[in-house]
Each structure stands twice: as C-alpha cells, then as structure tokens.
C-alpha cells in the first residue's frame, strides 16, 4: 500500500477555524434568539407583526 498524499495527512488543520467560527456564530444567534424570550413585550410585538401580514 502506498502512503496517503501529504494533503490528506492532517485534514483538520486547514479547516478548523472556519468550522469553529460557524459554530460560534450559530451559538451567538441562538443565544440572542433565546434572550428575546425574557422580554414578553417584544415577543408580543413580533407576534402581532407576523399576524398583521395575513
């Protein structure tokens, strides 16, 4: 068997930071979304705006 090419020696070394950045952005968006649930007035306003579209 021949050894693997050098480009496949460490597959995680080149793409680790974009994946971590994407996870960080996703977690930040989820935390921001969940933080809105602590403001009932905001949630009511958003629900009214949503229903006003129909």
**For 1-53, what is each residue's pLDDT tens digit?**
666 665 555 555 667 899 999 999 999 999 998 888 888 898 899 899 999 99
pLDDT of residue 54: 82
**What is the rounded distance in angstroms from the CA atom of residue 35 to the CA atom of residue 43?**
11
Model pTM above 0.85? no
Q: Which distant-in-sequence residues (6+ apart) come within 8 Å of 43 by Cβ?
A: 36, 37
SS3 12: helix
């Amino acid at each position: 068997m021949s050894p693997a090419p050098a480009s496949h020696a460490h597959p995680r070394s080149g793409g680790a930071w974009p994946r971590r950045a994407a996870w960080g952005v996703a977690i930040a968006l989820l935390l921001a979304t969940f933080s809105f649930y602590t403001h009932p007035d905001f949630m009511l306003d958003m629900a009214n705006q949503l229903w006003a579209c129909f």
